[in-house]
Structure 1
Amino acid sequence: MGETRHVAMTLGELTRQLHAQLIGQGREGATAIGIAMDHRLVNAGDIFAVVPGAHVDPRIFVGEAERKGAMALLVTQPVAETTLPQIVVDPARVRDCVALASQLVYGEPSKRLKVVGVTGTNGKTTTVSLVSEMLSLLGYGVGTMGTLWGRLTTPEAPEIARRLATFVAEGRSYAAMEISSIALSMDRVRYLNVEVAMFTNLSQDHLDFHPSMEEYFAAKASLFHPSYAKLGVINADDTWGQRLLERAQIPVVGVSDAELSQITLGPYGLSFDLRGHRFAAPLIGHHNLVNLHMALIALETLGFELHDLVEVAREVQAPRGRLERVPSRHGSIFIDYAHSPGALEQVLTAARLSLGRAGRLMVVFGAGGERDHGKRPLMGATAERLADVVIITSDNPRSEDPQTIADDIAAGWVATTRPRIILDRRLAIRTAVDELCDEDVLVIAGKGHERSQRIGLASYDFDDYDEALRAVLELRDDQR
């Protein structure tokens, strides 16, 4: 594995590039190896960026960063309790400065890779995975960043630059990454060079962060500007995508089902014709047809020929926790990350393809605590409309009362009878598996690939796939 590449950026030069002030006479010639915003990620020779947070003053971690070998600080106001040199930046520009410093210290790695950046409410992870898989199958080195590959959908700017520099050092030619609206709003991807920007769709989510859908859209749309991206690929069948096609300030191509013919959607795969080429893939549901179509056009935009993509498309797989099948003797069980109204609708619609003639569509789901409250009743209404059996359970309640969250979801119910609520997620999954019949389909939604459940301030081991499989095996043993 290659070493993370950095350049000999002196503190004096970095200070000039940031239009900042350097405190520390005689230290202008010292060079930084890296940069980190999280004190736990500081390595010897790094700059520790002391960025004010919503809940914690990071100045309390300066001593620990210094003990770990930090060679300088980037601050908005001088820290008295240190002998380290300090780059003092304008507080209004602190995140912008961190992003620029990150790119400079690591040698602007996005200029030495072709970066595909995917934004949108749903489909980001799958689209990134499909782009990455097909590039790999074509023989190219590709690095990935996103929900499956790190703690944050889009990491902080120093981590993005460090990982891109590592990709370069490893000899990779491409990077595919998810770019969230929050990352765009918080300057995490400032100064990133994106070869192809992609927009999947927009539906209600993250309104705990964005004041309105318009501002949520504006954050996504900002990626389609020459300061970020060269070219764009946009889902033209999405209402917000249609607006973005008119608003984008870079050359873009719209992707629409109207370009496809002979579409087939089945319980184990899909196929379609695109400009004289027959594509097939082991993916389930119309939303994955859109994801694959988008990924193909993105690769075409990168310069690949469609006829070279036919065979590799046959070999792609859905990423973990995205309509992932759990082995079952009775009926079909899927695990999915769907945690917004739009995603839940897509997944339940896709799951119906696997129903037997007399089968029931069952769903177990909840909603995350400390997140967009307005989407909860919408998710409840979606489940009532599309599923035959609904069990509302706890997701990642965090500091909120799980019963309150469940009641918020149930508020979307139209029927006078209340939906079933089983707050113990393990029991809810076991109950649904016990009730599953041969022609039924069960979707366990909301957590997907996650391997823990956050309750209060603690995180507990919990994996929907493992819990469902355990319930299946225990049920089989009970029936012997």
Structure 2
Amino acid sequence: MNILDYSPMPKTLVSIIPKGFHGEVSEQLLISDVQADSRDVTPGSLFIALCGLDGDGEKYISNAVENGAVAILVEEDHLCSVLNVEVPVVGIKNLKENIPSITEKFYNSPVDDLSVFGVTGTNGKSTITSLIAQLHALLGIKAGVLGTLGYGMVNDEYIDTGMTTPDLVKCQRIFAEIVACKGKVIAMEVSSHGIHQRRVENINFDIAVLSNITHDHLDYHGTFENYANVKRSFLLSDNCKSCVVNADDEDCRKVIPELQDLDKNYVTFGIDAEDAMVKAEIKKYSPSSIDAQILSPWGKADICCPLVGKFNLSNLLAAIASLCSSGVKFNKVIRAINKLKPVEGRLQKVDSPAEGLPSVFVDYAHTPDALKQALMALRNHVSGNLWVVFGCGGDRDPSKRAIMGEIAATFADSVVITSDNPRTEDPKAIIKDIVQGVASDTAYEVIAERELAISLAIGNCSANDCVLIAGKGHENYQLIGHTKVPFYDYHIAEVALRQRAQSTKVMP
């Protein structure tokens, strides 16, 4: 079965909502789906109009009805203010607290049939969730993924959700789809927004992973400490059974004493930390892999990791620790590692049309630490100069722009500053903020048009150089104003490499 073929079994509204509801409802009224986003409503849906951190759902009741909603749920105290609605409106006391029960009854508690792996952290979430799911699939266990890249079964095309961690209603639907496809595991990204807005507090996680904590989302959380506390709180919650923590990250390590106080099961991983329970000793960097020895409580083994960069080896350690903590045999996990595939837009090497061309990588790095880690990782894998093409997103934390400019100038040999997703900001103003962090004696180039910046970097570097195109990764669009304009770094780089190959052939 394909996920797109999934259709839940209709149920009567009165069979899934709490007793003592307010409103007139026919006992025969059938519900074909449950949604909390009016844009996802289809004919026969129940629309839950939530008010809270995610917005005021009651403003979208008319949209939901237009899209085919046959009933509306609102907070009991708001029932009198919802007027002139053509379908039954039902008041539920403590609506948000009752959503887990409502959705579980409708979708037949799908999470009970899944092992749920939750991954939070600033960077690496998409890679770790993909590695966890891939390893399960390679061991014959059907697995799904949910996160920034969308959701779906391993090796299938993913479906976009519009956010890293969807609301609980959408999560329950996704869990049901995974189960319908015979999935036994789901690895999902857990964002700081999702934690703070309580989107995951009613999901029981078998394994909770904390990958790292670095500068990000301060426009939302206010301070780094607030942000870090939110990340760590995920592992401390009652709905997380066992935890996996990055021992190389000092801000991650701060959660360990608290886990000990709560008597929680946990495993640490790391490359540099001497006390990490799951460790890797790097033997050799190759152009597209890393040779290393894995040391763990379950055994030790030599591996060839088919990924690029030290931080990706760290991501692999997190995945190994997660599977083994859940009961999967260490030797089975090790045997599957050489069959892993890189994740789209995560230090993804662009296919070269010919020999003698520079190496080009596309990466989603859009935070200071992610950019630094990507550049440091590639430095170990290339022999020539390291180029970076990057920008910063508009309408997002402006404090990281100068920091990223400084990092680019420090860790790359050639810097090209360009536009990212400017949204409603002036791209030139964003670039000006980035340049503030670049030392006055550093050579850099500003090319605001991203396609031109990528093409010129690939066209002008030497054959043994490496170009990192950072910031957008898997995204196949640019956000300019309020418009999504088709744009895919990988394809732009492919074209530039082909043009360079053709121009090389005609040279005397």
Give the TM interval when normalised to the shorter protein: over 0.9
Q: Tell me by how many angstroms 1:51 deviates.
A: 2.9
Report the 3-state secondary structure (helix = DSSP H, G, I; strand = E; otherwise coil) of the residue aligned with 1:222: helix
Q: Which residue of 1 aligns with 2:342?
A: 318
**Are the counterparts in 2 of residues 22 and 85 from structure 1 also a CA contact under 8 Å?**
no
Alignment partner, residue 22 of structure 2: 22
Listed as ranges, the matches of 1:294-313 within 5 Å are 294-313=318-337
Aligned residue for 1:102? 103
**Whole-Å Cα distance in 2 between the matches of residues 239 and 73 of structure 1?**
47
Q: Match of 2:249? A: 238
Structure 1 length-normalised TM = 0.92
Q: Deviations over 1:134-188 (max 9, x none)?
A: 1001001111111112221112222111010111122111111111110111122
Shift of 1:260: 3.0
Pairing 1:427–2:452 present: yes
Alignment correspondent of 1:221: 232
Instruction: Find the aligned partners of 1:454 and 1:225 in 2 and give their Cα distance.
Output: 36
- Provide the residue aligned with 1:130 in structure 2: 131
**1:273 Cα deviation after fit:** 1.8
Per the alignment, residue 38 of structure 2 pairs with 39
| AA of the residue aligned to 1:411 | Q
Q: Which amino acid aligns with 2:380?
A: L
For residues 35-434 of structure 1, the aligned pairs below 5 Å read: 35-52=34-51, 58-76=57-75, 77-78=78-79, 79-89=82-92, 95-149=96-150, 150=160, 151-248=162-259, 249=262, 250-257=264-271, 258=274, 259-261=279-281, 263-274=283-294, 275-328=299-352, 329-356=356-383, 359-416=384-441, 419-434=444-459
Give unmatched runs, 5+ long, in structure 1: none
Alpha-carbon distance, 1:293 to partner:
0.8
2-structure distance, mates of 1:53, 1:454: 27
The one-letter code of the counterpart of 1:254 is T
Instruction: Report the residue type matching 1:415 in the other structure.
Output: S
User: Which of 452, 455, 466 matches 2:480?
Assistant: 455
Q: Number of aligned residue pairs: give it.
A: 472
Mean Cα deviation higher: 414-423 or 106-115 = 414-423
> In the alignment, is the contact (CA less than 8 A) between 2:206 and 2:241 conserved in 1?
yes
**Against the structure 1 CA distance between its residues 170 and 282, is the aligned structure 2 distance closer, same or farther, given a 3 Å change threshold?**
same
Question: Do 1:9 and 1:104's aligned partners in 2 also have CA atoms closer than 8 Å?
Answer: no
Range with greater deviation from structure 2 (57-66 or 78-87) = 57-66
| Residues 94 and 13 (structure 1), Cα distance of their counterparts in 2 relative to 1, 3 Å cut | closer
Tell me how far 1:434 sits from its aligned partner: 1.2
Q: Do the aligned residues in 2 keep the contact of 1:134 with 1:316 (CA within 8 Å)? A: yes
Query: Could you give the per-residue CA deviations for residues 362-421 of structure 1, whole angstroms, max 9, x where no partner exists?
Result: 000011111111111111111111001101110001001111111111111233457321
Which structure 2 residue ranges, 5 or more long, are not aligned? 151-159
Aligned equivalent of 1:475: 500
SS at 2:252 equivalent = helix
Q: Deviations over 1:242-292 (max 9, x none)?
A: 111122343211112243335433321112222331122211111011001
Residue 83 of structure 1 deviates from its aligned partner by: 3.6
Give 1:201's aligned amino acid.
Answer: N
Equivalent residue letter for 1:126:
T
Tell me, in whole angstroms, the C-alpha distance in 1 between the residues paired with 2:301 and 2:399: 43
Q: Which amino acid aligns with 2:248?
A: D
Structure 1, 206-215 or 386-395: larger mean CA deviation:
206-215
Which secondary structure state, in structure 1, belongs to the residue aligned with residue 439 of structure 2?
A: coil
Structure 1 distance, partners of 2:55, 2:182, is 38
Q: Compute the RMSD of aligned alpha carbons.
A: 2.3
Whether the 8 Å contact between 1:33 and 1:105 is mirrored in structure 2 is no
**2-structure distance, mates of 1:128, 1:8:** 33
2:221 is paired with a residue of what secondary structure?
Answer: coil
Distance 1:380 1:371 in 2: 16
**Displacement of 1:6:** 5.8
Cα distance in structure 1, aligned partners of 2:302 and 2:442 = 47
Secondary structure of 2:226's counterpart equals helix
Q: Distance in 2 between matches of 1:450 and 1:35?
A: 29
Cα drift, residue 104 of structure 1: 3.7
**Structure 1 residues 54, 14: CA separation in 2 closer, same or farther (over 3 Å shift)?**
closer
Distance 1:181 1:100, change over 3 A: farther
Residues 157 and 458 of structure 1, relative CA distance in 2, 3 Å threshold: same
The one-letter code matched in structure 1 to 2:241 is: K
